[in-house]
Amino acid sequence: MRWACGLSEEKTLENAVGQCAAQVRAVLGTGTIDLAFIFVGSGYAAPFERVPAILSEHLEIRTLLGCSGGGIIGGGREIEGKPAVSLIAARLPQVTITPFHIVDETLPDLDAPPRGWEALVGVKPADDPQLILLADPITLRAEDLMLGLDYAYPKAAKVGGLTSAGSRPGENALFLNRATHREGAVGVALSGNITLDTLVTQGCRPIGAPLRVTDSREHVLMALDGKPPLHVLQDIAKTLSPRDKALVQHALFVGVVMDPMKEHPGHGDFLIRNIIGADMQRGLLAVGARLRPGQTVQYHLRDAQTSADDLHAHLARAAKGTPAPGAALLFSCLGRGQALYGKPDHDTLAFEKHLGPVPLAGFFCSGEIGPVGGTTYLHGYTSSFGLFRPKT
């Protein structure tokens, strides 16, 4: 397993792709590359459809996967708001690579048997696949895709992100081998001598105590321990510092414990979800998750320091894994980066601090894919990593 990455801020798409290819070739040499991921920022004059053809002029690649993004990650850099191209490539002996493209109308019903989902991906659960997914949020029901893939491949690691270069149908690009798609999702299933370790850093810290949902209607949280949720929050706010009271106004989230057997939930046990509405008169909250009575939830806050601490804690644990990763992909929210930390390259520098100069590439997403508590979710404001290690 050998990996190499490249990053370019050249002004033309042709030069940027060519420079990335040259950086990869300098490490891997000539010859066929088994797998490559390419991420292309918006702002280039040439259409996205040119990307696979330009890359094929420089490198022979068996399987190419990639997408457009509002920001690009690679080579220890995070390029936001400017055109850039990132490329990461590998030779993967003893690894079977199965590419796939899924469009919304081909998604099976959620109560359909697993074989419908297996037909879309092209591999069996017995192959022990690891899945990398890139999806267009405008033309695909991404959450239904996650549910279906978890159903068909419950043991498979899944990581990825939603394209972010455009806000209307047809503005985002998905690359798969020689084709450029404008809808759906593209992905690869990796089987054989490879492991995909996932790391989802949600960047929040709890306030108050864990609470039991005693009444809810779908997304509407109606009672926590028998009291309206806003009344509970007001009681918690009385105990907070002035700084945290200010964060409650604009950086408040609800964490939902995913394992009902957890009696004392802690760091990493919560799925963080947005608060999407409030009924001030009745003290109710609308949350970006389907809730049911009996679940445990806790209010959370997010800020730059909390996000940084959470990231370092996750990366420190990942650095203890063996063998060392050969490469990694990073799918980070558009709301992170300089907007959150006030300086560039924060997450990539943290990654390098803990794991060293491991080839890393990715992009800033409009939604991040990764598991929490054994189930794959679509997240916001997170950084979702996929670390590639050999099995043997």
DSSP 250-276: HSEEEEEES-TT-SS--TT-EEEEEEE
Residues 345 and 273 reside in one and the same domain? no
3-state helix, strand, coil in the chain (%, to 5): 25, 40, 35
Half-sphere exposure of 386 (CA within 13 A, CB side): 26
Antiparallel, parallel or unpaired: β 270-279 and 2-8: unpaired
- Report the C-alpha gap between 71 and 79 in whole angstroms: 6
Q: Coil, strand or helix: which one is 233?
A: helix
Residues 292 and 351 reside in one and the same domain? no
- Report the C-alpha gap between 284 and 275 in whole angstroms: 11
Residues 296 and 361 reside in one and the same domain? no
Q: Domain boundary at 273, 301, 329, which?
A: 301
Which H or E run contains 99? strand 95-102
Residues 129 and 7 reside in one and the same domain? yes
At 93 the pLDDT is 94
Phi, psi of 327, deg, nearest 5: -170, 175
Which tokens belong to 267? 């760091």
Phi, psi of 360, deg, nearest 5: -140, 135
- Report the C-alpha gap between 111 and 97 in whole angstroms: 28
- Report the C-alpha gap between 265 and 257 in whole angstroms: 7
Q: Domain boundary at 258, 274, 301, which?
A: 301
Q: Domain boundary at 256, 283, 301, which?
A: 301
Per the DSSP assignment, residues forming a β-bridge with 126 are: none
Number of domains in the chain: 2
Q: What is the CATH number of the domain that holds 286?
A: 2.40.30
Residues 250 and 193 reside in one and the same domain? no
Tell me the Cα Rg of the chain.
21
- Report the C-alpha gap between 271 and 81 in whole angstroms: 29
At 211 the pLDDT is 94
The residue range of the domain holding 49 is: 2-201+308-389
At 81 the pLDDT is 87
Residues 27 and 169 reside in one and the same domain? yes
Residues 193 and 297 reside in one and the same domain? no
At 263 the pLDDT is 73
Residues 27-47: tens digit of each pLDDT: 999 999 999 999 999 889 889
> Mean pLDDT per 10-residue run, the chain (392 residues)?
96 97 97 97 91 97 97 95 96 97 94 92 96 97 95 97 91 96 97 96 92 94 96 95 94 89 77 93 93 94 92 94 94 94 95 97 96 91 96 85
- Report the C-alpha gap between 67 and 186 in whole angstroms: 9
Residues 259 and 383 reside in one and the same domain? no
Q: Coil, strand or helix: which one is 174?
A: strand
Residues 17 and 146 reside in one and the same domain? yes
Q: Coil, strand or helix: which one is 316?
A: helix
Residues 193 and 216 reside in one and the same domain? no
Residues 172-198: tens digit of each pLDDT: 999 999 999 999 999 999 999 999 999
- Report the C-alpha gap between 263 and 39 in whole angstroms: 42
Residues 383 and 276 reside in one and the same domain? no
At 126 the pLDDT is 96
- Report the C-alpha gap between 97 and 4 in whole angstroms: 18
Residues 327 and 369 reside in one and the same domain? yes
